[in-house]
């Protein structure tokens, strides 16, 4: 039952992030957009029979009938997934209004045309890709590395690698069947009870692993601007070991060499130990709930490593410099030490600063990235 006093107050205070006025139904796709914006935000009221100034102009009986019919059509055929909403006919000061009450959705919603909206002040706007992915992530498993990738395929599995790793844990997997191998992955939280391998399992033990965004885009520029013509570029995909090795190779061939004082030799402008740590951090701690690549950008004066996702939870750059460690991908980090130079004890940032003090860390949460800049 609509509270008429609350309805009157909404009309008097005007449109805001939880209230939208309409004099008529209009375009169905547009109305679907208004409803999905409320669903993807914090809910709200869509009120028909009211002009933009909050004046109740009312609806005629035939208008009411048409709007109710079309709203049912919108809910079932123009919103993905379909929804059921509370719709009320209200007589306010002898003016007939229709009030659609939209509660905050339990999922992420789009229009029939595949557009995702969110409420922004007194209007709706299309959601950015990062916002869509972030909201979708909150509906999935608690950790991005536990997201299911695909139905398990035993032919893709690196069986010798899995056998060797399980051997280090005190178990035997010599003449196992595909079912037994999958069960071994499942018991290590690398696959689910639904028959699917997850992000961590595929990255660690598939011979090849490709999914759009789970890769590295590397570019080298001759100057200090990304607008310059590049001198080298690579798209690095595959499993975790392959991405690490190829990214390391890219850096070794593109970073400048510096002469060593007193010796007739040279060394990389950034110590190998620091490079290893920054690459491992990017691969282990990136947000796999966001389908964007890690970016490696080599300029004449700096190296930039851009990882999808800001720091998790309450972490900030000061805390990670002091060794505070909260893993975004605990399953991946718990098993990755056997293929990467990774300890998992929270000292990676300190090692980077020890071997390359001129390093800056930036947690750009609004852009959903973590940026590491190393001066050359």
Place of tokens 């004082």: 261
DSSP string, 299-333: -SSEEEEEEES---TT--HHHHHTT----SSHHHH
What is the structure's pLDDT at 61? 93
4-127 folds as 3.30.950
Distances (CA, A) of 99 to 4, 35, 58, 104, 153: 11, 12, 12, 16, 51
Report the chain's terminal Cα–Cα distance, integer Å: 67
Place of tokens 């950790």: 143
**87 CB neighbour count, 10 Å cutoff:** 16
The model's pLDDT over 133-148, given as tens digits with 9 standing for 90+, comes to 777 766 656 688 988 8
The C-alpha atoms of residue 26 and residue 139 are separated, in whole angstroms, by 32
What is the structure's pLDDT at 140? 58
The band of 258, judged by pLDDT with boundaries at 50, 70 and 90, is: confident
Average pLDDT, stretch 297-304? Answer: 96
The C-alpha atoms of residue 173 and residue 372 are separated, in whole angstroms, by 41
Residues 6+ apart with CB under 8 A from 339: 161, 204, 240, 241, 244
What are the sequence ranges of the domains in the chain? Answer: 4-127, 144-205, 216-375
Instruction: Indicate the class that CATH gives domain 216-375.
Output: alpha beta
Rg of the chain over CA atoms, in angstroms?
27
Q: Is it true that 4-127 and 216-375 share their CATH fold?
A: no
The answer to whether 143 touches 309, Cβ cutoff 8 Å, is no
With 70 as the cut, is the pLDDT of residue 344 above it? no
The C-alpha atoms of residue 105 and residue 123 are separated, in whole angstroms, by 18
């Amino acid at each position: 039952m609509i509270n008429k006093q609350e309805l009157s107050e909404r009309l008097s205070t005007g449109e805001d992030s939880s209230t939208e006025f309409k004099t008529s139904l209009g375009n169905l796709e547009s109305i679907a957009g208004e409803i999905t914006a409320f669903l993807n935000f914090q809910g709200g009221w869509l009120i028909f029979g009211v002009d933009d100034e909050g004046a109740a102009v009312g609806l005629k009986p035939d208008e009411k009938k048409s709007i109710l019919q079309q709203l049912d059509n919108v809910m079932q055929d123009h919103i993905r997934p379909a929804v059921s909403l509370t719709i009320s006919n209200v007589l306010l000061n002898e003016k007939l209004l229709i009030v659609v009450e939209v509660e905050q959705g339990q999922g992420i919603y789009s229009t029939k045309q595949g557009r995702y909206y969110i409420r922004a002040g007194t209007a709706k706007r299309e959601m950015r890709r990062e916002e869509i992915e972030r909201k979708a992530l909150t509906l999935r498993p608690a950790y991005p590395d536990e997201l299911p990738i695909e139905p398990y395929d035993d032919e893709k599995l690196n069986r010798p690698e899995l056998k060797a790793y399980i051997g280090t844990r005190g178990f035997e997997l010599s003449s196992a069947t595909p079912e037994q191998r999958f069960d071994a992955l499942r018991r290590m939280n690398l696959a689910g009870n639904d028959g699917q391998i997850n992000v961590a399992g595929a990255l660690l033990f598939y011979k090849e692993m490709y999914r759009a965004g789970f890769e590295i885009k590397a570019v080298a520029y001759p100057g200090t601007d990304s607008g310059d013509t590049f001198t080298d570029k690579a798209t690095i995909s595959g499993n975790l070991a392959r991405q690490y090795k190829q990214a390391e190779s890219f850096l070794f061939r593109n970073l400048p060499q510096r002469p060593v004082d007193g010796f007739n030799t040279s060394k990389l402008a950034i110590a190998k130990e620091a490079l290893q740590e920054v690459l491992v951090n990017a691969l282990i701690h990136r947000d796999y709930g966001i389908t964007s690549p890690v970016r490696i950008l080599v300029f004449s004066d700096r190296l930039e490593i851009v990882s999808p996702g800001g720091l998790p939870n309450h972490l900030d750059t000061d805390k990670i410099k002091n060794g505070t460690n909260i893993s975004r991908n605990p399953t991946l980090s718990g098993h990755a030490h056997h293929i990467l130079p990774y300890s998992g004890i929270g000292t990676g940032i300190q090692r980077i600063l020890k071997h390359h003090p001129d390093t800056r860390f930036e947690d750009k949460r609004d852009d959903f990235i973590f940026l590491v800049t190393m001066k050359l």
